[in-house]
Amino acid sequence: MPFEAKEKVRMALVGCGGRGGGMLSDYLGVENLEVTAVCDLVPEHAQKAQATVERAGRKPPAIYSGTEHEFEKLMRRDDVDFAYIASPWDWHVPMAVSAMENGKHAFVEVPAATTLEDCWKLVETSEKTRRHCIMLENCCYGENELLVLNMVRAGLFGDLLHGEGAYLHDLRRILNEGRSEGLWRRLPHLTHNGNLYPTHGLGPVANYMGINRGDRFDYLVSMSSPQRGLDAWREANVPKDSPRWKEKYICGDRNTSLIKTANGLTITLVHDVVNAQPYDRLNLIQGVKGIFRDYPARIYFDGAEKDEFKPVDQYKEQYSHRLWKLQGEQAQKLGGHGGMDFLMVYRLVECMKQGIAPDMDVYDAAAWSAPGPLSEASVKQGSAPVKFPDFTRGRWKEKRANLA
């Protein structure tokens, strides 16, 4: 479904903490975008966001703050086209549903939902209200991800076979801080055992494979390693009188899932945020003619003179995505994960201004978030296969363009 074309786009920021406050500069870097309202439980966070908008030479947005449900008042405003939701995970769905039911599009941070029931709630609300619910998977807009997507579409890899994605990130210090994400992001490790954060590695691979655009995720099997990392960190760093010593972590340190698609392709998906390791999303795609691996980015094609990987730089002139050619310099100037944050925001607003369908929709939000609860279900059943719901109700067979 295309957006209604708009010359000026009006947004509200819901959740002005670390991620929301940091992304605000990316939104303010886009022409003809107005921030009309900001909302946060903590008044100082909302006030800081308002000041950021003013420093950019824009009209100060209205502030909503002080109670957990102030966002509901904001959603009733008539000068908001979309709400950017950067709250803790448990609030993503109620806030997105409120936005859509009040006639706004919902742009939601990752993961969009943490239960299958909530995945369906987003899908059904989006369909009922005809408002988009878009999960803001910024990794889909990385320079390498879009380069490889163009190469996949050009047929350089031949028929695709296998992909790999991951979120391997040492977050032990962040999870244990007494502020920001440390106030809530450690808590799922007490109640869930599976892949708590599947979308960063999975989104780009899903795009390579045309998931929901000619293929779909069919089923998943998952297993978790023992839980050790958070206990070891607590032993070395947390005072013995801290209430955190009463916490019992159950999430295995490393969760590995295998996904089979309806067309027979396979995906390995890995999650580990509580052990010492360099940052890595794997970002692998393999076809019958070649293979790409990231971290570091390298590529190999059938018929190469030497049986070894080569750098990808030689392919950038021909296959770099138009978004990076058009806005790459501005994206890197603003920062935000190497520029991918700004590219994502720019593209979303571009779609709204031009009145075209977005690259990612509510079906992607649901499918990419679903490995969270599905991996937990598989682990509980001794790594038994669990089926993905077909959130598209059969429309995944329709081929449609995205990230043009």
Q: Across the strands, what pairs with 310?
A: 299
Per-residue confidence (pLDDT) for residue 325, from 0 to 100: 97
How many domains does the chain contain in total? 2
Q: Determine, yes or no, domain membership for 64.
A: yes
**Which amino acid is located at 211 in the chain?**
I
Q: Determine, yes or no, domain membership for 4.
A: no
Helix (H, G, I), strand (E, B) or coil at 235: helix
Per-residue confidence (pLDDT) for residue 2, from 0 to 100: 95
Strands (E), 317-393: 386-387
- CA separation for the pair 108, 355 (Å, rounded): 20
Q: Determine, yes or no, domain membership for 343.
A: no
Q: Across the strands, what pairs with 300?
A: 291
Per-residue confidence (pLDDT) for residue 404, from 0 to 100: 86
Per-residue confidence (pLDDT) for residue 63, from 0 to 100: 98
Domain that holds residue 176: 139-321+361-397
- CA separation for the pair 366, 392 (Å, rounded): 10
Question: Do 130 and 160 fall within a single domain?
Answer: no
Per-residue confidence (pLDDT) for residue 336, from 0 to 100: 84
Question: Do 90 and 199 fall within a single domain?
Answer: no
Question: Do 113 and 223 fall within a single domain?
Answer: no
Question: Do 194 and 301 fall within a single domain?
Answer: yes
Question: Do 145 and 265 fall within a single domain?
Answer: yes
Helix (H) / strand (E) element for 101: namely helix 92-101
Q: Determine, yes or no, domain membership for 18.
A: yes
Q: Determine, yes or no, domain membership for 334.
A: no
- CA separation for the pair 301, 288 (Å, rounded): 9
Are 3 and 358 contacting, i.e. CB atoms less than 8 angstroms apart? yes
**Phi/psi of residue 228, each to 5°?**
-140, -35
Per-residue confidence (pLDDT) for residue 373, from 0 to 100: 98
Q: What CATH number does the domain containing 88 carry?
A: 3.40.50.720
Angle at 148 between CA 255 and CA 167, to 5 degrees: 20
Q: Determine, yes or no, domain membership for 172.
A: yes
Tokens 């050009």 belong to residue: 154
- CA separation for the pair 289, 89 (Å, rounded): 40
**Residue at a domain's end among 104, 135, 166:** 135
Q: Determine, yes or no, domain membership for 310.
A: yes
Mark the ranges of the chain whose per-residue pLDDT is less than 70.
Answer: none
Per-residue confidence (pLDDT) for residue 275, from 0 to 100: 98
Per-residue confidence (pLDDT) for residue 9, from 0 to 100: 98
Question: Do 306 and 381 fall within a single domain?
Answer: yes
Q: Determine, yes or no, domain membership for 339.
A: no
Question: Do 170 and 282 fall within a single domain?
Answer: yes
Per-residue confidence (pLDDT) for residue 240, from 0 to 100: 96
